Structures are given as C-alpha cells and as structure tokens.
Amino acid sequence: MNPTRRTLLATTALWAATAISSAALAQAYPTKAIRVVVPFPPGGGTDIIAREVTQKVATSTGWTFVIDNKPGAGGNLGVDAVAKAPADGYTLVLGQTSNLAINPTLYAKLPYNPQKDLAPIGLVASAPLVIVVPTQSAFKTLADLVAAAKAKPGEINFASPGNGTVAHLTGEQFQKTAGIKFQHVPYKGANQALTDVISGQVHLYVSSVPSVLQQIRTGKLRPLAVTSAKRVDDLPQAPTVGEAGYKGFDAVTWFGFLAPAGTPKDVLARLNAEFNKALQQPDLRKRLGDEGADPLGGTPEQFAELIRDDITRWGKTVKESGVRLD
C-alpha cells in the first residue's frame, strides 16, 4: 500500500476512534460526583449561586454535585486548583468577574491564564453591587456619605470582600467619580465584613446584592445605592448611583461555570445544556432573583467573549486605581 495512503487511513481511523470515544464519554457522563469549586468562603454571593444552580440541575438529572469552598488570594487559589485539575469534566469552578477579568491585571504573577487554562461552559447570572451602611449610621443617603467624605478625606473606611474584588474596584471607581477618598478595609470573604459593618466597626460596605440582601431585609443594613444602570427589583428603595447624581455609573459582577482547558467539547456541551435548561425554570429564576441575581445562560463562546472584553475593561480600572498585588 502507498505509504501516504497508509498514513491517511491511519489518521482517519484514529480520528474516528477519538470521535467515537468522545461521543461515548459524553453519553455516559457523568458516572460519578462532579466537584464544583467555589473560590470564596461559604455564605457569599458566589457560594449561594453555585448551590442554587447545581441543586436544580441535580434535581432534574439525578447528577451529584459536591461544593468545595477554596477561598484565598482573591479567588486565585480555587481557580488555579481547577485550572490544574484533570480535564475530564468532574472538576468545575464557578468563576466570576474578579478572578477571571480583574486578577489578570491586578496580580503581577497570576498562577493561571483564564483564557488559556480554562474552558468556559456558560454564564449563570449577574448581580449589581450595593453600597450599604449599618442601620445606626448617620448616613441616610449617598449624598450624606459623599459630603462626609469630602469633609474628612480618608477618615471614612469602606469594607470589601477582598483586594481586587469587583466590590473593591467598584468602590475605587466610585471614589474617583465622586472626587472623594475612603480608607479601604479588605476582608477575606463576605462573612467577617458583614459582621463588622453591621456592628459599626466599619462605616460602609460595598458588596454584591446576593451577599447582603437578607441583612437588608431584616433591617440590619441600610442600602444607599446600587451600582447598576437600573434599580434592583428586590431593593426598590435604593436608587442607582446614577440617580444619586453620578450619571453613567454602571458596575455589575457576573458568574459562570468553567472546566479545565482540554475538557472534551461534548462534555462541555452536555454541561452547558443542563445549566441552560435549569436557568430557564421559573422556580430557579425566582430563587436567584430573590437573592438579587439576574439569571443569564448562553453559549461557551459568548462567555469566552465576555471574559476577553472584561479583562480589557477592568484592566483599565485596575491601572487607574494604582492597585497592584504580588
């Protein structure tokens, strides 16, 4: 047989075997529990969304999900663990704006490349941020806060879930917009920050809505403004930052599932289909909405495009803020 033809036949056979193997893998998948890494502590917005969505998929498919909270380094530890995990579809991460779009510019040495080391599955939800103060605070409106900050530059402190998070940079962006200066107090996640702002140990907190919605509802926190372009249905009393006098201000955080790069495309497609199906269900949409999140969905390609665009967008904010982490 002609050597070229022999090579061609061998290559074709290999391709066919690979295609059959990939299809068989997707058809059988999953055969065991799927670990979902949440790169933040329990109780925060990312954790809440991960549990709600995976529970809905588990109920409809019979699949088993195990939530693994791996906080640290602004979400880098958890994301890096998934980037280096086997690309077999059994380790996923619920990434979000900070660790996928902000950290590439924020950190001098990031242990993973979100565009090369991870395979997007699909967007899950987005959520605006909210500026809150303890109910005993003298600040009743955003104007009160700005006036106090102008009177005493650097003396009012604001908490965030950590350096380089969307909340932190949104706070920095607002300071620049309003021409004021706060003292930033970073925490390792939402829980301790919430405790300290409720007790009045810090003056204000910038957070995703899902992380603080229950505390607002129970009267422990007062919302001064939301950072999205439009009001949040669950916080009708809170104006947007734009409505409070800073037109055009718009900052939200988004959440999406990813797998290690190299995960079979058929497996990614299966996961994408199940997550999208779950996100169309009225009960899940209501639960996410009740937590202050807007259900999304979409294709892996759309998610990849958003990551690329937001690396550019938030990278500019990071550079303007002067924040840089090792």
Beta strands 65-69; 34-38: pairing state: parallel
Has residue 75 got a pLDDT over 80? Answer: yes
Residue 77 is predicted with a pLDDT of 95
Mean pLDDT of the chain: 90
8 A C-beta contact, residue 258 and residue 119: yes
Residue 27 is predicted with a pLDDT of 66
* Model confidence pLDDT, tens digit, residues 184-230: 999 877 888 999 999 999 999 999 888 898 999 999 999 999 999 99
**What DSSP string describes 83-123?**
HTS-SSSSEEEEEEHIIIIIHHHHBSS-SS-TTTSEEEEEE
8 A C-beta contact, residue 209 and residue 130: yes
* Model confidence pLDDT, tens digit, residues 105-164: 999 899 999 999 999 999 999 988 999 999 999 999 999 999 999 999 999 999 998 888
| Backbone Cα Rg of the chain | 22
Q: Two tokens at 25? A: 């893998």
Has residue 21 got a pLDDT over 80? Answer: no
Q: Two tokens at 130? A: 């909210």
How large a percentage of the chain has pLDDT more than 90?
71
Domains and CATH numbers, the chain: 8-127+253-321 (3.40.190.150), 128-226 (3.40.190.10)
